Amino acid sequence: MPGRGRVAVPFAFSGAPVSRVIVVGSANTDLTVKTGHLPRSGETVVGDEFMISYGGKGANQALAALKAGAGVTLLAKIGTDEYGNLLYDHLIQSGLPSKGLLHHREEPAGLALIVVDKEGRNQIVIVSGSNGHFMVEDLHRFEPLLQAGSLLLTQLEIPLSTVEHALRLAKARGMTTILDPAPVSPLPPSVYSLVDILTPNETEASSLTERKVETPAEAEKAASIFLSLGCRTVIITLGARGALLSRAEGVEFFPPFLTRSVDTVGAGDAFNGALAAALASDKSLPEAIRFACAAGSLSTTKRGAQESLPEKTEVEHLLREKGIQK
């Protein structure tokens, strides 16, 4: 593989999938540099460590759901360049079925350039590559796969038109739909009405509602805006401050699981994948959120995106340790 540094070894999934989750989204190779502090505009900083690993919000969330015990199919489009071929092999070796992965012969696979500081904070630049060519017509080839799913999870690292069409197909089949609106981008009103569960973090919620979202009270106000736009349920993740659930039945706050964070890359993906897996296994929404919060917190205790995704047993152990689950 091009470049120098440590190449992450793919994890292997062991355990019987118990439910059907369809993830529509991106798959990338992550080029990560660890440094003392994040660079300011025009500043050059010296990196301490370089790692080549695998990411993309779609792939991350699919593998998070897989490790959380769900049966998962990832629908994605991957280039056939050197990075893309290695990425394809990694996804198959990790337990995802090849039938959901399309090849793009002209565009290289997606890349993410990531800088992580000593506090675990990060800056990320994404080159979409083949992800940007995952088109609406590609989804029609996947319609038989959608028939087997009970829940669809998607994000915004592929064209918005494809995301909207995937949500529309899923709703027509009676599937539960989850949209993680990241990377944040303006959404037309037509998208909100297709979303059963919207899962922005505080930055995304702030951008989409054009108001500050830092506290639970501010998150509650932002969530009410999303509900008025047509979403049925809103979960705003607040990082180390926990998560807020808002729906017609009312508002509920979920406190954080306090862990020693070393790298926040992929925490949101761990949350969303675990949430989807928990819901697809018939957990109640509050139970699924607690499970997802635990998964997201555990992911910050390790470096990398997919490398940090916790196993179902780890999440359950943390929940028992905190007296939340027997």
Q: State pLDDT tens for residues 132-167.
A: 999 999 999 998 888 889 999 999 999 999 999 999
Residue 91 lies in a domain: yes
Whether 306 and 12 have beta carbons less than 8 Å apart is answered as: no
pTM recorded for the entire structure: 0.88
- Residue 171 maps to which CATH number? 3.40.1190.20
- Catalytic member of 30, 81, 180, 269: 269
pLDDT of residue 211: 95
Give the pLDDT band (50/70/90) at residue 292: very high
Q: State pLDDT tens for residues 110-128.
A: 998 989 898 878 898 889 9
Q: State pLDDT tens for residues 30-86.
A: 888 999 999 999 999 999 999 888 999 999 999 999 999 999 999 999 999 999 999
Q: State pLDDT tens for residues 220-274.
A: 999 999 999 999 999 999 988 899 999 999 999 999 887 788 878 789 999 999 9
Give the pLDDT band (50/70/90) at residue 9: very low
Residue 167 lies in a domain: yes
Residue 217 lies in a domain: yes
Whether 17 and 71 have beta carbons less than 8 Å apart is answered as: yes
Q: Mean pLDDT for the chain?
A: 90
Residue 174 lies in a domain: yes
Domain that holds residue 155: 11-27+55-105+131-321
269 is an active site residue = yes
Give the pLDDT band (50/70/90) at residue 326: low
Residue 124 lies in a domain: no
The total number of structural domains that make up the chain: 1
Residue 326 lies in a domain: no
Q: State pLDDT tens for residues 169-227.
A: 999 999 999 999 999 999 999 999 999 999 999 999 999 999 999 999 999 999 999 99
